[in-house]
Chains A and B, each alone.
Chain A
Amino acid sequence: MASKPISSGRGGDGRIAFLLLVVPLGLLAATLIVPMVSAITISLRDIRVIGSDGPFAGLDNYARVLGDGTFWHALGISVVWVVGNAVVQTILALTAALVLNEKFPGVRVARVWIILTWIIPTVVVVIIWRWLLSPSGGMVNPLLIQLGIIDRPMGFFASGPAAMTSLILINSWRWFPFVAIMLLAGLQRIPNDIYEAAAVDGAGAIARFRAITWPLLQPTLLVLTVMGTLLSFNVFDIIWLLTAGGPAGGTETLPVLIYETAFKAYRMGDAAAMSVVASVLMIGLALVLLDRLAPKETAR
């Protein structure tokens, strides 16, 4: 006897699908659309302190923000931050995933061990790295001096470039395991017989990587690139806790600038205008990435 289907008619399926969609769509509306509409509304008014009111300003806030070098400087810093993280995390994660895809004693432990940095709370990561990198009492400076790389303690957050490099490395250290696990899942979906056939044809390890691994990892890499770009762009906590955008604005990404404008300069209208512009940029970038990086249908 055949088992009875969960829903016997198209109408029933449609109703269930509708009900299942209503809840997430309602939540999306509440948590995404409402704040966005609110941000757009605030961006059109000259509101200073949060919670206060202000006169209608039209597009004045947008004109002021876009005409101010600070916004473009922060956008430039954000680009450096996103690209730096993408490059470093991809290299680290791909290397780790390729190693973890091999069979060696302890590989199971290694696969669990690697995610530890990812599950540590941001505040703890910040405390660990501030202590490690401190010129007075930290462990990294004495190590570098002993190795002869530097001759005196250096400040890892003493200048804009140094602070940005340190931040990218720390953030990558934290997040590359997540990317590595995703890539590992992608690697394990590649059928082994393709590698065996290539080996029979005399393909070496590099040739197998270029002809098989890299192309077949593209869908996973696409998802990670889009997700990583959006997530990296919006990172606030680790930057704020380690450098607060300093020194001298050297790590002041757009989210940090928006926070400072809203809550330190008390210019909610300007901050909202920046947020709207940033959202438009991110949506545009995500669409471009999806279009450019998505595998194209081969013409028949």
Chain B
Amino acid sequence: MRFKGHALAGALALTVFGALPALAVTDVKIWHMEQPPHRVQRVQELIDAFNAANPDIKVSQEPQSWGEVYAKVPAAMAAGNAPDILFAIPDFTTVIRKAGQLDSVADFVKELDAQHHFIPATVEPYSYDGGVWAVPLYNMSLNFWYHKKMFADAGIAVPTTWSEWKAAAEKLSKDGVVGVGLPANKQLYTDQTTYAVMVNNGASELFNADGTLRFDNPKTVESYAFYKDLYKFSSPDAANWTWGEAEACFASETCASILQFSVISTYDQQGGGDAADLGVAAVPHADGEKNSSTIAYSNAAIILAKDAAKRDAAKKFIAFLLEPENYGKFLNMEPGLFLPVTTDGAKSETFWSDPLVVKYKPQVEQMIANSHAGMLFGFTGGHVFPAIGPISAQNILAETLQKVVISGEDPAAAVKAGQAQMIEATK
């Protein structure tokens, strides 16, 4: 009799709960290009925390490669299979905007700014044509990394000018060590190192104020000629390098110095991890210039979703990431590489308390200082030139460099051809 009663109660409960409508779950798919497993893991931890706190939303990530994403996103958009949130950089955003109808996130950015206070320079590259097209998430800047002991043993001071840089690279290149690891691949990394050399010779502007190209000028030619001189002291396989190969070269002490955003993680895991021996400085400038500059830019999140529920869910997740408590963890998916774009994020306890950030605090502070003098091709002088999208997608800066350092073309001729190629690309 008692059993019968329990069975009846169970059946009743099943009937009641079974009759309740299932909780509608909004799926949000993210594509980002932070492929190293530890970064994917950190992003997943944040996603798990968000999903647990928001049972009506299910966020998932699909890491992509920078090498393929320029091709993959327009194809996915055409096939109706695009992600809801796409991580991007400024020039890539112009490509995506051209490929599909993006909705401005100006109001959302304003709302976030009121809470977290964006560093204005991180929002500017995404603000044009009357809208804001992405939400800044993290900043990056290219730095000059070096092994302090190698430099000290060779009696070399950290170079600040090009002549010092070349002399140092030459002196350090012996016994299987290359003085400076510089890439010459037709890829984004080489675009970045090339531009970092250009900005240190007053050749930061690719466009005139009216939007016409001014890549072909004596300062650019000098920059390419200098890169060629320096490339003689790079690794024999640098024509194939992306960021990972450069970091591996530095961590294995085959490279005495490299240009890289950050090496902290690989250096700590594979390079011995002696914080006192890891040097970071500004990229050296041309002898005629007074100050160093570098390439720096913010990465951002584009909301591609069209569906209102998905857009709201995507905004909720982005807002979650920018909460200082989560933001420090997010930035430290690669400690030292990703720098804050918000004022409260820069003070985030979770950012500064990460063991690697604590260990390499002087280096991280130097990186932040270097980033203040950062620029990005196509986004200089207070202008935004959306024509930079196809130029960047085709890696024309890097392709021009290959002509100079690999095919041995005259820098002036290569730069002239590069400008012609840029004009063709932007037609």
Contacts and interface: CB of A to CB of B under 8 A. Distances in A.
Interface of A: 49-52, 130, 133-137, 152-160, 163, 242-250, 259-260, 262-266
Contact of B237 (A52, A134, A249, A264): A134
A153 B249 CA distance: 14
Contacts of B67: 244
B78 A52 contact: yes
B61 to A, nearest CB: 21
Scoring A242, A250, A263 by chain B CB atoms within 10 A of each residue's CB, the highest score goes to A263
Interface of B: 67, 70-72, 74-75, 77-79, 95, 98-99, 176, 184-187, 235-240, 245, 248-249, 252, 254-255, 390, 393-395, 399, 402-403, 406-407, 425
Contact of B394 (A244, A249, A265): A265
25 contacts: A50-B78, A133-B237, A135-B236, A135-B237, A136-B255, A155-B236, A157-B237, A157-B240, A158-B237, A158-B238, A158-B239, A158-B240, A160-B406, A246-B240, A246-B402, A247-B186, A247-B240, A247-B406, A248-B186, A248-B406, A250-B406, A262-B71, A264-B71, A264-B395, A266-B95
Contact of B393 (A134, A137, A266): A266
A245 B186 contact: yes
A152 B235 CA distance: 11
Contacts of A248: 186, 399, 402-403, 406-407
A136 B186 contact: no
Contacts of A263: 70-72, 74-75
Given A49-B98, A137-B248, A157-B240, A244 B71 contact: no
A119 B216 CA distance: 49
B78 A159 contact: no
Given A133-B237, A136-B237, A263-B74, 16 more contacts: A50-B78, A51-B79, A134-B237, A136-B249, A137-B252, A155-B236, A157-B237, A158-B406, A242-B240, A246-B239, A247-B406, A248-B407, A259-B71, A262-B71, A264-B71, A264-B393
A247 B239 contact: yes
Given A52-B78, A136-B252, A247 B402 contact: yes
A137 B176 CA distance: 11
A133 B185 CA distance: 17
Contacts, number: 104
Nearest to B80: A51
A51 B75 contact: yes
A246 B400 CA distance: 12
A50 B74 contact: yes
A153 B237 CA distance: 9
B240 A136 contact: no
Nearest to A241: B67
A244 B186 contact: yes
| Interface SS, B side | helix
Contact of A136 (B72, B235, B425): B235
A49 B74 contact: yes
Contacts of A49: 74, 78, 98-99
A259 B71 CA distance: 9
A49 B249 CA distance: 37
Contacts of A135: 235-237
Nearest to A137: B252
Q: Which 3 A-B pairs have the closest CB atoms?
A: A51-B78, A263-B71, A155-B236
A74 B91 CA distance: 28
Contacts of A152: 176
B251 to A, nearest CB: 10
Contacts of B99: 49, 52
B188 to A, nearest CB: 11
A264 B237 CA distance: 24
Contacts of B255: 136
Nearest to B67: A244
A260 B70 CA distance: 10
Contacts of A250: 406
Contacts of B70: 263-264
B186 to A, nearest CB: 5
B240 A153 contact: no
Scoring A136, A242, A246 by chain B CB atoms within 10 A of each residue's CB, the highest score goes to A136
A153 B67 CA distance: 27
A250 B239 CA distance: 11
A160 B186 CA distance: 13
